[in-house]
């Protein structure tokens, strides 16, 4: 158990819809990351927050947005969903910002029909 909690574990929705994925980081971790894992693209970094502020952005689509709240939990919002958005979405956390040791949750599997 990494200490990172993600909900929901599974989500099935239709094209055009909007979903919100939630993440609670490990106790004490200030950095939260979102990664997408798909068969064709592999594991890709989407976005990082540190103590409530956006820290770094990766290959995140404009239809996607995220935020980190004062209690440090984070949400990833995916809108105008397309079939190609079907993937595993992982949240990870770390204490600091310059580290390769991230603690990943078990992921939220999104299926867009």
Partner 1 sequence: GESVGLHLPTLSVQEGDNSIINCAYSNSASDYFIWYKQESGKGPQFIIDIRSNMDKRQGQRVTVLLNKTVKHLSLQIAATQPGDSAVYFCAEGYSTLTFGKGTMLLVSP
Choice from 11, 45, 61, 86 touching partner 1 (CB under 8 A): 45
Residue 40 CB, shortest distance to partner 1, in Å, is 10
Contact (Cβ atoms closer than 8 angstroms) between residue 9 and residue 111: no
Listed in sequence order, the residues at least 6 apart from 69 whose beta carbon sits closer than 8 Å to its beta carbon are 52, 75
Q: Would you count residue 22 as binding partner 1 (CB under 8 A)?
A: no
Residue 60: name the closest of 74, 42, 76 by CA: 76
Nearer to partner 1, 83 or 97 (CB): 97
Contact (Cβ atoms closer than 8 angstroms) between residue 37 and residue 87: yes
Q: Which stretch binds partner 1 (CB under 8 A): 11-19, 43-51, 64-72, 74-82?
A: 43-51
- In this structure, the strands spanning 5-7 and 10-13 are unpaired
- In this structure, the strands spanning 108-112 and 87-94 are antiparallel
Q: Which stretch binds partner 1 (CB under 8 A): 11-19, 64-72, 77-85, 86-94?
A: 86-94
Q: Would you count residue 42 as binding partner 1 (CB under 8 A)?
A: yes
Residue numbers of the site for partner 1 (CB under 8 A)?
2, 4, 31, 33, 42-45, 48, 55-56, 58, 90, 92, 94, 97-107
């Amino acid at each position: 158990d990494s200490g990172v909690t993600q909900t929901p574990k599974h989500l099935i929705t239709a094209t055009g819809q909007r979903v919100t994925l939630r993440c609670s980081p490990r106790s004490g971790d200030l950095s939260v990351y979102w990664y997408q894992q798909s068969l064709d693209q592999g594991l890709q970094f989407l976005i990082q927050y540190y103590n409530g502020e956006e820290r770094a952005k990766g290959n995140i689509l404009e239809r996607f947005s995220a935020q980190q709240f004062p209690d440090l939990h984070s949400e990833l919002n995916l809108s105008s969903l397309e079939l190609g958005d079907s993937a595993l979405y992982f949240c990870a956390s770390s204490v600091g910002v310059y580290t390769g040791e991230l603690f990943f949750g078990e992921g939220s599997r999104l299926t867009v029909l």
